[in-house]
Structure 1
Amino acid sequence: MGNLADESGTDVEMYRRARNPDIIHVISRSDAPEELLAILDNAGLERKTIETSGPVYVWHETPELDVYGLPSNTASNLPMGLPEFRT
């Protein structure tokens, strides 16, 4: 069983789902090399994996954003408070 990228004959396919249009889904071909997956990881996309008794499904998604428009997993890394700017 292939996926959208396999069926289209491409390395990756990107799309938005109607139920969650704020997240972009990136489907890579089923035999994608680790180098391609690493490029998507380094682009800030979150790797998702489902292991089955048959194939392992791997895809990437844009991270969910918090109320500040930042990826929700980075909010804890931000400094508390902003520096004062004087003119």
Structure 2
Amino acid sequence: MGTPMIQSMPVNTVLIDTLTQIILALNEQERQLLFHQLQDPNPADLQSLQQKIEIGAQQLLNGDYTEYTDETLPELLGKIRSRGQNRIG
């Protein structure tokens, strides 16, 4: 039967580039935390990662997202680092 076909969506290359920049700015400990969260965000959470991705994709289609610029990106990076440090410490 093969794998089910996933509905094709437009790719937001700016978002992908931004996420890549954020990930590359993380230190090794922060990257490990990120990868752990992606693999198993919350084992007690009944909502699967796939469901969360589908919800996120729908939010993108509905325009329910924040677009970051070069001016606002450092603030986002600071928030991500702060949250990561809070979870670690």
Normalised to the residue count of structure 1, the TM-score between the two structures is: 0.23
More helix by share: 2
Normalised to the residue count of structure 2, the TM-score between the two structures is: 0.23
More strand by share: 1
Q: Relative contact order (C-alpha < 8 Å, sep 6+): which is higher?
A: 2
